[in-house]
Each structure stands twice: as C-alpha cells, then as structure tokens.
Amino acid sequence: MALQMSLTLENGINLSDAYIRIAKMVFEYSDVYSVNVILNVYKNYTAYSAGMPEITQLVHKCSGSAFTTYFSQAYLNTLNKNHINSAYEWLLSLEPYFDAEEV
C-alpha cells in the first residue's frame, strides 16, 4: 500500500510521480491521544523497487477528533481496518493528498 502523486518539495523540486509509503507510526496515549505518521518519499515506484533511498521524510500528526475518527478501537473493529489502512485513509483526507492515488 502506498500513495502516488505529483509532489513539490519545500525546496521547489517537483516529483511528477512521487511514491509515498508509511515508514513508521508513533502512537502517544497521554492526555491527548495522537499518532505521528512518518512517510518516506521516493522519486517514483521504480526508484523504490530498485532499493534506492527515500528522497525525504514527511511527518503528519493526527490527534483530537481525527484520531477518534480514524484510529479509535471502534473504528478499527470495522471490516478490514487496521492502523496502516486507517492511516492511508486519513492521509487521503488531508489537503496535500487530495489528488493522490492509493496503489
């Protein structure tokens, strides 16, 4: 599971076919439940499958009502839900990933 899309990095470099995979998820269960979703960004699928290193990492934090919506136990208990596919579903709800294709 991954996302593919055109992505412009902060330094202005445009990746016309970026391949984005979740590298790690760090959950925090303190006063406010949250998860940091750490993404590896590759030039494209070919670079990823050839074992090339990621170009950069992006981090997105999910907390509050979004955490309850996508990562609560009640939500995860629904058919075919787990932390990974819930994280991709949440990412697709974020503005930078509206045009991403899940692959």
Q: What are the boundaries of each domain within the chain?
A: 3-102
* C-alpha distance from residue 11 to each of 23, 55, 88, 92, 103 (Å): 22, 12, 25, 23, 26
CB-based burial, 33-53: b 16+ in 10 Å, e otherwise: ebbebebbbbbeeebbeeeee
Predicted structure pTM score: 0.92
Residues 37 and 44 sit within 8 Å (Cβ to Cβ): no
Residue range 9-24: average pLDDT? 96
pLDDT tens for residues 17-76? Answer: 999 999 999 999 988 899 999 999 999 999 999 999 999 999 999 999 999 999 988 888
